[in-house]
Amino acid sequence: MTLPRIRILATGGTIAGSASSATDATGYRAGTASVDELIASVPALRELADLSGEQFGQLDSSDLTDALLLDLARRVQQLVDDPWVDGVVVTHGTDTLEETAYLLHLVLSTEKPVVLVGAMRPATALSADGPRNLFAAVTVAVSPATLGRGVLVVLDDEVHTARDVTKTTSLGVHAFASPYGPLGVVTDGRVAFYRSVDRPHTARTEFGIPEALPRSAVLFAHTGLDAASVEALDGVDVIVHAGFGNGTVSARLVDALDAARARGALVVRASRVGSGTLTVVGASADAANRWVAADDQNPQRARLLGALALTVTRDPAEVQRIFHTY
């Protein structure tokens, strides 16, 4: 029997991290174990797939840049274009895993499985979660049921869509959740899917992998935030304002955001509350097509979608359509 050929692309993170003691789950260095060591730590993987490993990097994911994200996207695209590769598993730090997954979900052109996986405990810890998560990720990557579902994130036996998943807690192995729930679960080497996402992704988006992304920044609203904080973002192409409640912007900031818009920046209203959909409020700046509402996207994903949108249009009404599409 021929096994599916899965490439494991390792980028670093806690899943490859090591500490000096098995009881230390936080004082460790991310990105030390090699991809071959990760694969060797789970002998049962060899029963699931014909595996090969590749070291993309050894980074703490907080050190990733947009340029590196695009390099990673180009490499994953090359791999999925290779007829000898049936699927790709990317090992990644959990801190920015949701951003990498979302970018890949929007720019890759493929029906093949692309699965991101991380761990909350370093490889040297008691009850390290990395080996189990890696086994689950490969389980998902080899399943025919995974084809065409876009980029997936697997942690703690759950399968999430890259469109929705977010890291919800700083410690603990159940650190990822999606506002509408996981797509499926992994149990004893089998994956069961219960739903799929409606919004277009991978082969069905209007985005390719751009040469570069425009500069973007997220401004987190708080009582007393002043216009000078917006003015300091001079030169930034995408300003995501993580506002109050339904994306409310303080009256103190409106002129500065409009000035940013007037110099050509894209202004996106998101919310700092963590879940929910933003409405385009009548008579607001986005109803007048000056700014754009982030729909239900969190600020860190909204800044990626905004940056990608600018690679295809500069018209805020078009960018609003993009936010309501993806």
The single-letter DSSP state of residue 170 is S
Return all residues near 156 (Cβ < 8 A) that are at least 6 apart. Answer: 129, 133, 173, 174, 175, 176
Burial 123-139, CB ≥16 within 10 A → b, else e: bbbeebbbbbbbbbbbb
Rounded Cα gap, residues 241 and 252, in angstroms: 13
The reply to whether 120 sits near ligand ASP by the rule CB under 6 A is yes
103 membership: H or E segment, kind and range: helix 97-107
The reply to whether 93 sits near ligand ASP by the rule CB under 6 A is yes
Would you say 106 or 119 has its CB closer to ligand ASP? 119
Task: Judge whether 65 counts as a catalytic residue.
Answer: no
Residues 239-268 that bind ligand ASP (CB under 6 A): none
Q: How far is the CB of 228 from ligand ASP (least distance, A)?
A: 31
Residues 27-86 that bind ligand ASP (CB under 6 A): 30, 60-62
Would you say 13 or 150 has its CB closer to ligand ASP? 13
C-alpha to C-alpha distances, 9 to 1, 23, 72, 217, 298, nearest whole angstrom = 25, 28, 9, 28, 27
Q: Pairing between strand 5-12 and 50-59? A: parallel
The reply to whether 13 sits near ligand ASP by the rule CB under 6 A is yes
- Pick from 14, 139, 202, 300 the residue near ligand ASP by CB under 6 A: 14
Q: Which stretch binds ligand ASP (CB under 6 A): 90-98, 253-261, 298-306, 312-320?
A: 90-98
- Exactly one of 11, 14, 96, 139 is catalytic; name it: 14
Would you say 30 or 308 has its CB closer to ligand ASP? 30
Number of H helices, E strands in the chain: 9, 14
Question: Total residues at the site for ligand ASP (CB under 6 A)?
Answer: 11
Question: Which spans of this chain sit near ligand ASP (rule: CB under 6 A)?
Answer: 13-14, 30, 60-62, 93-95, 118, 120
Active-site amino acid positions? 14
